[in-house]
Amino acid sequence: MAIRHLDTPIGELTLTATPNGLLQVSFPTAPTPLGIPEPSEQHDMCEAILDATARQISEYFSRSRAAFDLPLDLSTVTPFRRLVLNGLLSIPYAQTISYRDLAALIGHPRAARAVGNACATNPLPIVIPCHRVLRSDGGLGGYLGGPVIKRFLVDLETRQPRLPSPAIETDQVPSRQHAANPNCSRTVKAAEH
């Protein structure tokens, strides 16, 4: 397993990979991912996945990428959540649907609330675009990164986004300090890729 911190327009993201693929994308307000990784023989494979992830997320924020092409490790996801995540992957870039429509899309038309809960626990936000799911009345609905980030991501895809003011950004997207660990953690500026 390997972890990397990536600076983005919405704050620092924490990326976690295993040899099987990208395991987690965490917002600054989310709990620390799965502990501190130990260096292993497969560490280089994890680092290659994190390199590709950092590059593709940077491309997404620069509006030069509409879909991600990454190996994903969904080993910690229940079968129903996996079904929801696969449904999310079918939502085209710059389009939104409702939780009810997503429930119908995955063959569970009466499970809109369960779909919402699965979206709320998406381990790979941005890469698996749960921000493209809105309430039936057109409202934003919940989002793990908060409403400011969800609005930013929807606007990024549909039109030129407005960055939140520094006061809002500070309240909504606090920065975390990370201890340097050369074996498993490094901060990468989005512009580096």
Q: Which residue has the tokens 């003011």?
A: 165
Chain centroid to CA 151: how far?
14
Of residues 46, 119, 130, 184, which has the active-site annotation?
130
Pairing of strands 97-98, 187-189: unpaired
Quick check: is 46 catalytic? no
Is residue 91 helix, strand or coil? Answer: coil
DSSP states along 116-176: HHHHHT-SSTTTS-GGGEE-TTS-----TT-HHHHHHHHHHHHSPPPPPPHHHHHHHS---
Question: Are 87 and 70 a contacting pair, CB within 8 Å?
Answer: no
Pairing of strands 2-8, 187-189: parallel
Active-site residue set: 130
